[in-house]
Amino acid sequence: MDTLRSLAPMVSEGLQWAILPQLKIGQFVAEKAIGALGPQKPAAPPVQPQPLPQPVQAAQPAAPPPRHELPPGSYDVASITAEQLDGLKRSKNPKDQALAATIQRSRTAYAELLKNGSQIIAHRNEGNGGQPVLTLLPPGFDPSHETRVHTHYHGYNATVADDKNHGAGLTNRLAEIQKRGGPQTVIVLPECANAQGGKYATDWSNVKSQSETTNQALQAAGVSNPTYRVVSAHSGGGDALTYALSRDKTGAGLQADRLELQDCLYGSQGPVANWAKTENGRAARSIVYFHGTNNASDSGLKSAFGDRYQRQNLGDHNKTNQMMDSYPD
C-alpha cells in the first residue's frame, strides 16, 4: 500500500505531461479556425412569436336617413291607420273624401313601389285648390342632398294613381323614372277637382299655382334642396298650366327648368308662349313638345322660346305620356 502511495505523484505527473500537449494542439487548431472565419457577430436574439392578424371587419352599410315627421293633414299612404282613413271618408268636406279616395287608389296602384321601400305622402294642397297631391319619395332618399323634382298633371280618363294596365301608362312610367333617376328623384302628382275611375273630362279649375303646389308638397315631405324642376302635362292636363298662368300674369304660377307638353295643346299653347316673356319663362332651360295626334299649331311656342324649344313627333297620344322625362335636359 505504501508503495502505491509513493507512486501516485509520479503517475499524476506523467499523465499531465501526456495530456498537456494534446490540449495545446486542440487550442491551437481552434484559434486558427476562428481566425479563418473572421470576427464573429453576436448571436441574434431569439425570434419572438407575433400575434396573429385580426380578420378585417366588413364595412357596414350606412343607415338610411330617418323619415321626415309629417305635418298635420299629411299622411303616409303605407301607414295611415284605418281610423284616420275612415275619418276622411266620413268627413262632410268633399275634399277630405277625395283625399281618402286618392290614398286608397294609390295603395293599389303603387303597391310595388311601397313594397320596395318608396314612401308616398298624400295631403290636401292649397296651391292645388285644396285637392289631393301625392309626393313619391324613392328608397334611400336623403332630404339634405340635391333633388330632381318632377311635377305631372294627368289627362282625361286618368287619375294620379291608375292601375298598371291603364292606357296612359303613367304608373309604369313613374316607376321607370324613379328607378333611373335614383334616390334623389322626387315625383309630385297633383289631382284634379273631379277625379274618378272610367271615362270623364278632367276639371283643373282647382289649380291656383303649380309652383306653390310643388313647393307645399316638398315642404310637407321634408324635401329641402330642390335643384332641378321638371313640369309636364299630358292631354287635358294642359288646362292645369292654363289656370296656373291665368291666375298670376307675372308667370310666377309656373316654375320649371324643363317643361314637357305631352300632346296637350288644347288651348295651353298661348299662355305658355306668353310665359316665355316672364322672369320664370326666361329662366326655363328647355321646352319639349311631344306631338301625338293633336293638330294644333306649335309655331307660337317655337317662336317664343327659340333654341330652347324642341318638338318630338311620336304619332301616338298615350305614347307622349309614356315618354315623359326621357330626353336629355
Q: How far apart are CA 57 and CA 47, in angstroms?
A: 29
pLDDT digits (tens, 9 = 90+) for 83-130: 999 999 999 999 999 999 999 999 999 999 999 999 999 999 999 999
The more confidently predicted of residues 25 and 150 is 150
Cross-sheet strand order for the sheet of 185-190: 74-76, 119-125, 131-137, 185-190, 147-153, 226-234, 258-262, 286-291, 309-313
pTM across the whole model? 0.80
Topology of 74-322 in CATH? Rossmann fold (3.40.50)
pLDDT digits (tens, 9 = 90+) for 60-73: 555 556 677 889 99
| C-alpha cell of residue 204 | 283643373
Q: How confident is the model at residue 28 (pLDDT cuts 50, 70, 90)?
A: very low
Q: Give the model's pLDDT for residue 245.
A: 98
Q: Give the model's pLDDT for residue 51.
A: 55
| C-alpha cell of residue 76 | 303616409
Q: Number of C-alpha atoms within 13 angstroms, CB side, residue 193?
A: 13
Q: At what angle do helices 82-90 and 94-109 cross, to 10 degrees?
A: 140
Taken as a whole, the chain contains a residue count of 329
Domain ranges in the chain are 74-322
Tell me what the pLDDT averaged over the chain comes to: 86
Q: How confident is the model at residue 324 (pLDDT cuts 50, 70, 90)?
A: confident
Q: Give the model's pLDDT for residue 167.
A: 84
Cα separations (Å) of 204 from 104, 109, 153, 226, 314? 21, 22, 9, 25, 26
| C-alpha cell of residue 207 | 289649380
Q: How far apart are CA 286 and CA 218, in angstroms?
A: 23
Question: Mean pLDDT across the stretch 19-32?
Answer: 48
Residue 29 has pLDDT above 90, yes or no: no
Q: What does the DSSP assignment read for 8-29?
A: HHHHHHHHHHHHHHHHHHHHHH
